[in-house]
Amino acid sequence: MLRRVFVSGVSWTYLALVYAFIFLPVAVLVLFSFQDGRLPVPPFNGFSMQWYEAVFADRKLMAALSNSMLVAISSSVVSCVLGFLAAYSLARYKLPGSALQRGLLIAPMTVSYLIIALGLLALLNALHMPLSLLTVGIGHVVINLPLCFAIIYASMGDHQINIERAARDLGASDFKVMALVTAPMLMPSILAAFFLSVTFSWDEFIIAFLLSRFDVTLPVEIWSMLRSGLNPKTNAIGSLVFLASVALLLILEFSLFGRTKKQ
Amino acid sequence: MTATTLEDADRRKAWGFAAPALLWTLAFFVVPFLFMAAMSLWKREGREIVRVWNLDNYARFFSENALLQGLVNSLEITVIVTVLSVLLAYPLAWIIAERVPKRFQRMALILAILPFWTSYVVRSYSWLLVLSKNGVINQMLTGLGLIAEPLEIASTRTATVIGFVHFFVMLLTLTIYSNLIQLSPNYRRAAADLGANAFQTFWHVVLPLTLPGIMTGAFLTFVLCIGDYVTPQILGGNNELVLPQIIMLQLGRRADFPMAAALSIILMLAVTVAYVLCARWLKIERA
Amino acid sequence: MTAPVSIENVSKTFGHFTALDKVSLDIRAGEFIVLLGPSGCGKTTLLSILGGFLSPSSGRVVIGDRDMTFVTPAKRPTTTMFQDYALFPHMRLVDNVGFGLRMRGLGKAERDEKALGFLDLVGLKASAGKRPHELSGGQRQRVALARALAVDPEVLLLDEPLGALDLKLRRQMQDELKAIQKRVGTTFVHVTHDQEEAMAIADRIVVMNQGRIEDFGPPSQIYMRPRSLFSAGFMGEVNFVPGRVKAANASSAEVETSLGSLALPAANFTAAVPKAGDVITLTIRPEHFRGEDKSDDPMFALGDARVAGSAFFGTHYRCHLQPCATDGDALVAHLPQSSDVRDGEIVPLAVRAADVVALPAASGTL
């Protein structure tokens, strides 16, 4: 009995300590985004919204925000469409060398983003292609395509084969089978792949940094803000991104959770 | 009537569906990578890149201490981070899976990975707020009178390690937790039934069964950690450079693309060696 | 709509495995055909080739008067009803049934009306707005039938559609399936491994084994006058009695067995014309044994047998009988309910000449 109390005491203490470690930087970040002063470090001088105002007044930051959204959403759509088509092909048809193809499609997952970015940069330079949001998007598809393919491929169960056959048997073309039968059946995993992909692209720094020029994404813009050292404005934009992501996460969690519960 | 069989027609269609993804991966991943590998065998002379096949970059890597030290730093930091993260995350995942009531587990897990959703760059920056000379920790310790002079944590290897461990503890908690709850409770019941105490059950049954999950998570940690530029650059500063920082230096200040390419290949080789070393525990294909 | 189907010399190999070996079959328009055989006999492969999900390695498939060998499923006048029903889980029943019509470009109002009509045919009109997961197994099966019929196919292919149902429901659905087939007149090709189901619904049964057709005909013919030992054995319990043809002429043959000699009409040699010296196997169904002679038909006395064991089956006693003349295999016989069978009792055995079928002996003994 005493031992059990001891073990459970140790457990809860450990839990509390690790949670404190995990939350410490985020708490400091959010707290000092409201700092009434020029330094986001103790002492806390008082509550102020001035840094949030500064964030919204910063046109470069706002442009970077919309660039990030554009790149994240469009690269995720491309990744999901290509990943879905490839998963459909490899899960439903017997192709020679399909293990090799699967290997090729998920290979970028095992290579550091830095190396992917360097390779693309070297090639783009050699081809004299200008860097832009488009090249960032291309890079983000390279890293997100394996993810989307793997998630969607894993969710293509054999029990769905006859359902697709039935649709084809009743006169549906392959694209109609995909659009009216396969995609709706796999919607939860397609959405999961899409949102994960959006998250990764949204947060990605090194590819966006190396493959962009004038229009940059949010992480790259924040990076250049870091040069001015500790700055409550950086806290403010960081907190905004954090709170927006958490809000989105909670919405998804509850809507997707409701969906899985229903099925 | 067509002479081709239905299977032939199917195969052609299947190629058509797989082609866009395959071509994308070939054009924007395989070709650039091969191009970069080729470039690592060229060299920079003055401002020009000379397309003569040679191994100078690799020779320089092994002869120049600053470069070789980068790899050593990278490996040391990565190994320390991986081990620390696993050691911290496993008990956390275990407590969430075993001690936290079932209906609160999902909530506990979401909380444990909530800081994931800060931007990666901002996460490193926020550790700077905590660790810098006038940051939270130093002000707290001096305020309590525990230290007279502020500690130099920021811009050291310690800061880099803390920043990394923070990130990977979250990642590993997630993977280890999902491993733990997939274990059938019958294994534990069987072990207890056969006379094993709680520790023996954990050591002989639970731990070996979750080892593949741990190794997969550890490998992921290794790959992401050794290739990261942001955290060491923000938290570690310029004191002990890791390989990605050196690669970026070649690219920026020195415009030596062939050298950067050669260092990237070396970085990849390090990852490959790590993969070979723990391949027998990894189940990446059907994970 | 309905159409005849002609399968000409169809073979299918998967690597080194021969799934179908030169199968030929002519199906009349409007017929209810059952492909019957154990798993792995090739019946499902044949159905897939009819449906267009596989193409044969050689041979031809003609439906109506058009060569369909390499036509895709969508363009064939066939629809398939799958064993797992393959209903679209995310669509309402009315949309499931209307799917084929939608693919044919019908407007929503028109296809909904038709779909409701077919749901009515299978008795599920009231559930049109439900989704498949809200239905029982039997109901799903009916929706699958309605969906397959809604596009008015010439040939409906059914892949063990009753396999997932429990026995009672299966027997009930057999009758419904048969009734609906009569009503719509479509050619049905139905795959099963259940010989009772086959007899209950088929106009003609195709017995398949190891990629070949063993037997083909109406249920009574397959049962009473099987053309192969496999067919005889698969259709129900049967006794195999080895024998040899002593003498044969155009109308009858003299056969010698361990139970005595019999003169069989040549017509009872269903697989080959008898010749003197042929080694054969006689097949006798358990219910064809008679305890005593009746005078109206030519009967053969097979001597006395000892009851080695018996069980009451309701409609009959199923008995193991050991013929007194030999110490060979025991025979299985069904004796009438009214007979008072006791173990160890000696009973006289007889059989009607017309009920005995003689087939060439298998290379190995069965």
The CATH code of the domain that includes A248 is: 1.10.3720.10
Task: With a cut of 80, say whether residue B3 has pLDDT above it.
Answer: no
- Model pLDDT, residue C226: 93
- Residue C218 is predicted with a pLDDT of 96
Cβ–Cβ < 8 Å for A178, A88: yes
With CB atoms and an 8 Å threshold, state whether C51 touches A169.
Answer: yes
Residue A173 and residue C74: Cβ atoms within 8 Å? Answer: yes
Q: Do B6 and C67 lie within an 8 Å CB cutoff?
A: no
* pLDDT, tens digit, 9 for 90 and up, residues B82-114: 999 999 999 999 899 888 888 888 888 888 888
Concatenate the DSSP letters of all residues of B53-87 into one string.
Answer: ---HHHHHHHH-HHHHHHHHHHHHHHHHHHHHHHH
**Residue range(s) defining the domain that contains residue C142:** 5-233
Chain B touching partners, 3 or more CB pairs below 8 A = A, C
Determine phi and psi for A50, rounding to 5 degrees.
Answer: -60, -30
- Residues in CB range of C132: below 8 A, 6 or more apart: C85, C87, C88, C89, C91, C93, C96, C140, C143
Contact assessment for residue A165 and residue C88, using Cβ atoms and an 8 Å cutoff: no
Is A2 among the domain residues? no
In a domain, C148, yes or no: yes
What ipTM was predicted for this assembly?
0.88
Q: C148 and C161 in contact (C-beta within 8 Å)?
A: no
Average pLDDT over residues A199-209: 92
CATH of the domain at C318: 2.40.50.140
Give the range of the structural domain holding residue A246, as residue numbers without chain letter: 33-262
User: How many domains are contained in chain C?
Assistant: 2
**In the A/C pair of chains, how many CB contacts fall below 8 A?**
57
Residue A112 falls inside a structural domain: yes
Percent of chain B clearing pLDDT 70 (strictly above)? 96
| Residue B284: predicted pLDDT | 46
Tell the burial category of A96 from Cβ atoms under 10 Å away from its Cβ (0-12, 13-18, 19+): exposed
The pLDDT assigned to C260 comes to 82
Write down the pLDDT at residue C110.
Answer: 94
Inform me whether the C-beta atom of residue C134 falls under 8 Å from chain A C-beta atoms. no
- Average pLDDT (B143-172) is 87
State whether C103 and A171 contact (CB < 8 Å): yes
> Could you tell me if residue A139 is inside a domain?
yes
Q: Rounded to the nearest 5°, which phi and psi values hold at C60?
A: -135, 150
Is residue A62 in some structural domain?
A: yes
Q: Are C285 and C356 found together in one domain?
A: yes
pLDDT of residue C366: 37
Distances (CA, A) of A20 to A24, A28, A42, A232, B130: 6, 11, 18, 22, 13
Report how far apart, in Å, the C-alpha atoms of A81 and of each of A76, A177, A211, C179 are.
8, 15, 23, 46
- Core vs surface per residue A50-87: b (16+ CB within 10 A) or e: ebbeebeebeebeebbebbeebbbbbbebbbebbbbbb
Residue A107 resides in a domain: yes
Task: Pick B10's closest partner by Cβ from A93, A111, A238.
Answer: A93
Query: Is residue B287 over pLDDT 50?
Result: no
Residue A52 has pLDDT above 70, yes or no: yes
Are the beta carbons of C70 and B7 separated by less than 8 Å?
no
Report the pLDDT averaged over residues A82-91.
94
Run of H or E including C311: strand C299-312
Nearest to C38 by CA among C198, C220, C240, C175: C198
Closest residue by Cα to residue B30 from A120, A129, A121: A120
Q: What is the mean pLDDT of residues B193-205?
A: 80
**Assigned domain for C225 exists:** yes
Q: Does A186 touch chain C (CB under 8 A)?
A: no
Inform me whether the pLDDT recorded for A259 exceeds 60: no
By the 10 Å C-beta count (0-12 exposed, 13-18 middle, 19+ buried), B68 is classed as middle
Query: Greater confidence, B221 or C290?
Result: B221
Domain-located, residue C366: no
| pLDDT surpasses 90 at A79 | yes
| pLDDT given for residue C281 in this prediction | 92
pLDDT at B282 over 90: no
Residue A192 lies in a domain: yes
Of B110, B122, B227, the CB nearest to A29: B122
Cross-chain residue pair C54–B7, CB shorter than 8 Å: yes
Whole-angstrom distance, CA of residue B16 vs CA of residue B5: 17
A25 within domain boundaries: no
For residue C364, what pLDDT is reported?
43
Contact C285, C332 (CB under 8 A): no
Contacts B170 to A, Cβ<8 Å:
22
Copy the structure tokens of residue B22: 């395959």
HSE value, Cβ hemisphere, 13 Å, CA-based, for C50: 36
Would you state the structure tokens that stand for residue C18, as one six-digit string?
A: 């021969």
DSSP C90-106: TS-HHHHHHHHHHHTT-
**Distances, alpha carbon B274 to alpha carbons A221, B75, B88, C281, C288, in Å:** 34, 10, 21, 70, 76
B20 neighbourhood in chain A, CB within 8 Å: 82, 85-86
Residue C219 shares a structural domain with residue C242: no
Q: Please, how many CA atoms are within 13 Å of residue B123, restricted to the half-sphere of its CB?
A: 27
Residue C365 domain-assigned (yes or no): no
Taking only the tens place, the pLDDT of each residue in A103-144 is 999 889 888 899 999 999 999 988 998 999 999 999 999 999
Q: Is C111 part of any domain?
A: yes
Q: How sure is the predictor about A262, in pLDDT bands with cuts at 50, 70 and 90?
A: very low
A101 to B18: CB separation less than 8 angstroms, yes or no:
yes
Proportion of chain A in helix, strand, coil states, percent, rounded to 5? 80, 0, 20
Same domain for C218 and C154: yes
- Measure in Å the smallest separation between the Cα of C49 and chain A Cα atoms: 13
Q: Say how far residue A195 (Cα) sits from the centre of its chain.
A: 6
Residue A8: inside a domain, yes or no? Answer: no
Q: Residues C140, C172: one domain?
A: yes
pLDDT in the model for residue C338 = 81
The most distant pair of C-alpha atoms in chain A lies apart, rounded to whole Å, by 73
Nearest to A147 by CA among A182, A193, A101, A114: A193
Kindly report the backbone phi and psi dihedral angles of residue C26, in degrees, each rounded to the nearest multiple of 5, phi listed first.
-115, 120
Contact C244, C284 (CB under 8 A): no
**What average pLDDT score do residues B138-164 get?**
84
Task: Give the C-alpha distances (Å, rounded to integers) separating B129 from A98, B21, B140, B245.
Answer: 50, 43, 13, 22
Choose among A88, A95, A141: nearest Cβ to B11. A95
Nearest CB to B126: which of A92, A125, A238? Answer: A238
Please work out, in degrees rounded to the nearest 5, the angle formed at the alpha carbon of residue C333 by the alpha carbons of C328 and C334: 170
For C250, other C-beta atoms within 10 Å of its C-beta total 7
Q: Is residue B285 very low, low, confident or very high in pLDDT (cuts 50, 70, 90)?
A: very low
In the beta sheet, which residues pair with residue C247? C254
Whether residue B200 contacts residue B187, with contact meaning beta carbons closer than 8 Å, is answered with: no
Mutate to test the interface with C, among B1, B5, B6 (most CBs of C within 10 A): B6
d(CA C95, CA C76) in angstroms, rounded, equals: 22
B25: distance to nearest CA of chain A, Å? 6
How many distinct structural domains can be found in chain A?
1
For the residues B40-57, what does the mean pLDDT come to?
A: 80
Which element (helix H / strand E) includes A243?
A: helix A232-262
Closest residue in chain B to residue A239, using alpha carbons only: B118
Cβ of C14 under 8 Å from any chain B Cβ? no
Residue A128, both tokens: 């004299």
Q: Which CATH superfamily is domain B67-281 in?
A: MetI-like (1.10.3720.10)
Which of C266, C275, C267 shows the shortest CA–CA distance to C244? C275
pLDDT of residue B205: 82
**What is the average per-residue pLDDT within B253-282?**
84
A202 has a pLDDT exceeding 50: yes
Distance CA C217, CA C207 (A): 9
What would the two tokens of residue A29 be?
A: 């970040």
Residue A213 contacts C, CB cutoff 8 Å: no
Rounded mean pLDDT of chain A?
88
What distance in Å separates the CA atoms of residue B46 and residue C300, rounded to the nearest whole number?
A: 112
- Would you say the pTM of this structure is higher than 0.80? yes
C53 has a chain B CB within 8 A of its CB: yes
CA distance C207 to C41: 9
Question: Which band of pLDDT confidence, cut at 50, 70 and 90, is reported for residue B201?
Answer: confident
Q: Cβ–Cβ of C82/A165 closer than 8 Å?
A: yes
CA A76 from centroid of its chain's CA atoms = 9
Model confidence at B129: pLDDT above 50: yes
Could you tell me which residues come within 8 angstroms of residue A81 by beta carbon, excluding any fewer than 6 positions away?
none
Residue A231: name the closest of A71, A38, A8 by CA.
A38
pLDDT of residue B252 exceeding 70, the answer is yes
Q: Taking 60 as the threshold, does the pLDDT of residue A90 lie above it? A: yes
CATH number at residue C218: 3.40.50.300
CA end-to-end distance (rounded Å), chain A = 43
> Is B121 a residue whose pLDDT tops 60?
yes
Cα B75 versus chain centre, distance: 12
Same structural domain for residues C132 and C162?
Answer: yes
Task: Verify whether the Cβ–Cβ distance A170 to C88 is below 8 Å.
Answer: no
What lies within 8 Å, CB to CB, of C334 at 6+ separation is C286, C287, C289, C313, C316, C317, C318, C319
Give me the amino acid identity at C327. D
Neighboring chain A residues of C88 at a CB cutoff of 8 Å = 163, 166-167, 181, 185
pLDDT means over runs of 10, chain C (366 residues): 92 92 94 94 94 92 92 90 90 94 92 94 92 91 93 93 86 91 94 93 95 94 93 92 87 86 87 86 89 66 86 89 81 85 85 88 55
Tell me what the mean pLDDT of segment B182-204 comes to: 80
